[in-house]
């Protein structure tokens, strides 16, 4: 019956406790039959505080009588376990108060032995006893067990006190007293109800909590090195994979070499041809005026062809692109680049250092409130659900765009605070941002209010 726990803060736990108390009380009061009320008491009380098993007892007879056990549709009221429960409850229930039950509370050896046997079945036992009163008479009791080494604390006992009052009110409602009794109790019930309403209104108005916004986030690179195409040409193959770590000078991708090598061969051949023609003209220049006139033209042409040759040699030297620094490869799909034509300066991939990262947050448009930049963000990454990280809000964009999920959102960025681990680029999770302190009523009703404004125009 133990409920899982998620990440929480003291303010969040307080609000949750108030909300669960209100919900359980309302559910019990709205129960239309005694059977429905007993089911809710047995199986819904765990929402307020975790335990392993609950049993409900009728206390208006000569001795306790088992009504039901949590998670079971029927029970054997005359079983050995029920008998031991009954002996233990009968030994201390006369004081009529909420109590944490342990061995010290029993006086007789028989009762202590019954308690010991119960504890042996569960490898340790701690019990919380909650009496339920109707018209100032003890009508029922709730027996809540924790097994093993888990113990009930005094603070948890106080937490259940208002709940038992709510259960007693619901029990009283279903007792169906006579007309005279109902008339006598009417004024008191109305007064208690008005007092309850007044307390709840005071809580909603005067309890103030920091506004919390929960938004999806992604770990992105901080100051990545963009690797661009150094030449016009066709990419033959990208030889690295996404997320791969590379060293400085390691091969990243290769161009198709055929065109560049052909251009180099043509340029070399042109230089040889012009050099040969120039040498021939120089030899004939002693007796041939026309040959002397061609020397200047050929020398100019040779300079041009040598420049083309240098360019062709440079292009060939850049056909294999290597990493200028060590880092982690960021690329969507390396296979999509095979056979793809590129132009100079076109982005192919990025190199990032995993220790140089930041957080990118996508705030839904409805949650773009004024944030407290002095308060740290709490970040829960999907890869590490058991721990949280801290970050400082650095930037919130002034305009609304689309998030990667296609939701109208405002982009924000945060810098890590005291990061104690290396994070891979692309990890996703949830960021909790904090705004100004607002009333509990606004804290609870902000989103429903916005929805009514949007849908109903209120």
Least Cα distance to 305 among 346, 341, 264 occurs for: 264
Q: Fold for 258-318, please state it.
A: Helix Hairpins (1.10.287)
Residue 129, SS3 per DSSP: strand
pTM of the model: 0.41
In the chain, pLDDT over 70 holds for what percent of residues?
92
- The answer to which of 69-73, 304-308, 369-373 has the lowest mean pLDDT is 369-373
Write down the pLDDT at residue 361: 92
Cα 147 from Cα 127, distance rounded (Å):
9
Tokens found for residue 11: 């303010």
Cα 431 from Cα 358, distance rounded (Å):
13
- Classify domain 224-255+320-355 at the CATH class level: mainly beta
Q: Would you say residue 4 has pLDDT above 70?
A: no
Q: Which CATH architecture has domain 10-175?
A: 2-Layer Sandwich (3.30)
Q: Fold for 211-221+356-456, please state it.
A: Elongation Factor Tu (Ef-tu); domain 3 (2.40.30)
Alpha carbon distances (Å) from 432 to 166, 210, 212, 215, 398: 34, 11, 7, 7, 20
Write down the pLDDT at residue 287: 67
> Boundaries of CATH 2.40.30.170 in the chain?
211-221+356-456
Q: Would you say residue 8 has pLDDT above 60?
A: no
Residue 333, SS3 per DSSP: coil
Beta carbons within 10 angstroms of residue 315's beta carbon: 21
> Boundaries of CATH 2.40.50.100 in the chain?
224-255+320-355
> Boundaries of CATH 3.30.450.40 in the chain?
10-175
Least Cα distance to 344 among 253, 237, 230, 222 occurs for: 230
Residue 377, SS3 per DSSP: strand
- The answer to which of 118-132, 272-286, 389-403 has the lowest mean pLDDT is 272-286
Q: Would you say residue 230 has pLDDT above 90?
A: yes
Higher-confidence position of 182 and 406: 406
Q: Would you say residue 366 has pLDDT above 60?
A: yes
> Boundaries of CATH 1.10.287 in the chain?
258-318
Write down the pLDDT at residue 449: 77
Computed over every residue of the chain, the mean pLDDT equals 84
The answer to whether the CB of 407 falls within 8 A of the CB of 364 is yes
Helix axes 34-44, 154-174, angle to 10 degrees: 170
Tokens found for residue 263: 């251009």
- The answer to which of 26-30, 114-118, 342-346, 445-449 has the lowest mean pLDDT is 445-449
Write down the pLDDT at residue 310: 92
**Running DSSP on this structure, what letter comes out for residue 60?**
S
In the chain, pLDDT over 90 holds for what percent of residues?
26
């Amino acid at each position: 019956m133990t409920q899982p726990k998620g990440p929480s803060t003291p303010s969040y736990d307080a609000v949750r406790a108030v909300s669960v108390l209100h919900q359980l009380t309302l559910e019990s009061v709205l129960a239309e039959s005694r059977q429905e009320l007993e089911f809710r008491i047995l199986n819904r009380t765990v929402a307020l505080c975790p335990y392993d098993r609950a049993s409900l007892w009728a206390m208006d007879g000569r001795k306790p009588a088992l009504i039901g056990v949590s998670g079971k549709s029927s029970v054997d009221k005359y079983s050995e376990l029920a008998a031991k429960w009954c002996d233990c409850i009968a030994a201390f229930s006369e004081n009529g108060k909420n109590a944490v039950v342990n061995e010290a509370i029993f006086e007789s050896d028989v009762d202590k032995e019954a308690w010991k046997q119960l504890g042996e079945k569960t490898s340790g036992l701690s019990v919380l006893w909650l009496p339920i009163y109707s018209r100032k008479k003890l009508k029922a009791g709730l027996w809540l067990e924790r097994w093993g080494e888990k113990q009930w604390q005094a603070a948890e006992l106080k937490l259940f006190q208002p709940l038992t009052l709510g259960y007693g009110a619901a029990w009283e409602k279903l007792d169906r007293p006579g007309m005279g009794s109902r008339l006598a109790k009417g004024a008191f019930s109305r007064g208690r109800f008005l007092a309850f309403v007044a307390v709840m209104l005071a809580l909603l108005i005067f309890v103030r909590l920091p506004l919390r916004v929960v938004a999806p986030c992604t770990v992105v690179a901080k100051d990545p090195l963009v690797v661009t195409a150094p030449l016009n040409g066709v990419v033959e193959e990208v030889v690295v994979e996404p997320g791969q770590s590379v060293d400085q000078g390691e091969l990243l991708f290769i161009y198709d070499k055929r065109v560049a090598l052909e251009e180099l061969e043509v340029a070399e051949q042109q230089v040889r041809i012009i050099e040969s023609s120039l040498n021939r003209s120089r030899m004939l220049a002693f007796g041939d005026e026309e040959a002397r006139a061609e020397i200047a033209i050929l020398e100019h042409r040779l300079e041009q062809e040598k420049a083309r040759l240098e360019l062709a040699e440079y292009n060939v030297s850049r056909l294999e692109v290597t990493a200028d620094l060590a880092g982690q490869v960021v690329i969507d799909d390396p296979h999509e680049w095979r056979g793809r034509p590129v132009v100079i300066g076109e982005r192919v991939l990025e190199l990032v250092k995993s220790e140089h990262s930041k957080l990118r947050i996508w705030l839904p448009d409805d949650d773009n409130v004024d944030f407290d930049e002095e308060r740290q963000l709490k970040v829960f990454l999907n890869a590490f659900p058991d721990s949280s990280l801290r970050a400082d809000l650095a930037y919130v964009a002034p305009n609304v765009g689309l998030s990667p999920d296609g939701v109208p959102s405002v982009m924000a960025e945060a810098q890590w605070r005291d990061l104690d681990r290396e994070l891979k680029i692309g990890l996703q999770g949830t960021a909790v941002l904090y705004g100004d302190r607002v009333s509990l009523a606004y804290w609870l009703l902000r989103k429903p209010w916005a929805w009514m404004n949007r849908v109903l125009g209120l």
